[in-house]
Amino acid sequence: LQQEALEKIEQSQELKQLNDVRVAYLGKKGPITEVLKGMGKLSAEERPKMGALANEVRDAIASAIESKQQVLETAAIEKQLQEETIDVTLPGRPVQVGSHHPLTSLIEEIEDLFISMGYKVEEGPEVEKDYYNFEALNLPKGHPARDMQDSFYITEDILLRTHTSPVQARTMERHGGKGPVKIICPGKVYRRDNDDATHSHQFMQIEGLVVDENIRMSDLKGTLNVFAKKMFGEDREIRLRPSFFPFTEPSVEMDISCKICGGVGCSVCKKTGWIEILGAGMVHPNVLEKAGFDSKKYTGFAFGMGPERIAMLKYGIDDIRHFYTNDERFLMQFGQKE
């Protein structure tokens, strides 16, 4: 029996197999347990001899199992170590680093520029009340100029804001009739415009508002001049055209010369050589009064610009849709270089 068990132990290649041998020979139903159980039937002379023999066989098998177990365990660990070796000399795989979206970078640049001129950055909701989007801005219900900004309505009184100007109204209201107010507000806006090279149904705007005593049109012009020169360089031309917005009086629009065609005319500038980038004007007295400001004491200017159009001019991008289609070939041009 002992011989047979030792052979089986020797042949065991795995721990599980060795355990089966242990159960078969030393387990409760194994031959040695059987022998020990049957001791009672033996004569008093035979009993110690048989007992000693059974113990001897059991110990021999047990110690053979133990040493084989150690051998198998060591082999298993070695195998595992070999399989899991890490070759530290292999070259690393390059990690693709993401980058800011070109619009995000541009907006941060514009924010920094205005912060350096003493402006604060404000935010407002994209799902807006009709009151702040239109009424507080001198656009009562039924006003024809509402058609200039075809809107996505959610209910009769709630819509996706069509411009960032509602943040003007909200900020002035919070100031409780006391100046100065000096803010810019970047954010997403939505209009039912048909998408083409220069229009998108969702785009960004950056609003600016300054309200204080003695704010004049010349302050607006000076501010826009500084902005244009810092953004586009001293050599780019700008022009102000008279315009109309219900919330400013007088109102202007600022155009900048087209970089793509050099002013000759191309599809981006609709063959005019100029691209409109912002609307602006002196805050209408009705807007000041509605927000709780005394329009005899306070005046202000406001402007609203489209950063997509600014980015297109600055980087020579020919289609606004590039910003929203997430083509990596486009985005990576603005990414970090390795």
Chain contacts with ligand FA5 (rule: CB under 6 A)? 149, 163, 165, 191, 193, 199-200, 203, 205, 207, 245, 248, 276-281, 302-306, 308-309, 320
Please say which residue, 61 or 287, places its beta carbon nearer to ligand FA5. 287
How open is the CA angle 209-212-216, to the nearest 5 degrees? 80
Please say which residue, 232 or 245, places its beta carbon nearer to ligand FA5. 245
| Minimum distance from residue 301 beta carbon to ligand FA5 (Å) | 8
For residues 164, 167, 169, 173, the Cα torsion angle rounded to the nearest 10 degrees is 180
Please say which residue, 32 or 320, places its beta carbon nearer to ligand FA5. 320
Please say which residue, 5 or 277, places its beta carbon nearer to ligand FA5. 277
In angstroms, the CA 325 to CA 298 distance is 44
DSSP 130-144: HHHHTGGGT--TT-G
Q: Which residue is listed with tokens 């993401």?
A: 98
In angstroms, the CA 193 to CA 321 distance is 13
In angstroms, the CA 306 to CA 162 distance is 12
In angstroms, the CA 171 to CA 166 distance is 9
| Minimum distance from residue 256 beta carbon to ligand FA5 (Å) | 10
| Minimum distance from residue 280 beta carbon to ligand FA5 (Å) | 5
| Minimum distance from residue 231 beta carbon to ligand FA5 (Å) | 13
Please say which residue, 122 or 276, places its beta carbon nearer to ligand FA5. 276
Please say which residue, 18 or 302, places its beta carbon nearer to ligand FA5. 302
Residue whose C-beta lies closest to ligand FA5:
306
| Minimum distance from residue 203 beta carbon to ligand FA5 (Å) | 4
| Minimum distance from residue 259 beta carbon to ligand FA5 (Å) | 15
Do the Cβ atoms of 298 and 211 come closer than 8 Å? yes
| Minimum distance from residue 245 beta carbon to ligand FA5 (Å) | 4
In angstroms, the CA 110 to CA 107 distance is 5
- Nearest alpha-carbon partner for 281 in 246, 256, 310: 246
Please say which residue, 68 or 163, places its beta carbon nearer to ligand FA5. 163
Please say which residue, 187 or 304, places its beta carbon nearer to ligand FA5. 304
| Minimum distance from residue 150 beta carbon to ligand FA5 (Å) | 10
Please state, as a whole number, how many other Cβ atoms lie within 10 Å of the Cβ of residue 283: 27
- Helix axis angle for 46-83 and 15-26, nearest 10°, is 170
Question: Which amino acid is present at 90?
Answer: L
List the 274-283 sheet strands across, edge first. Answer: 120-121, 181-190, 202-212, 299-305, 274-283, 248-257, 238-245
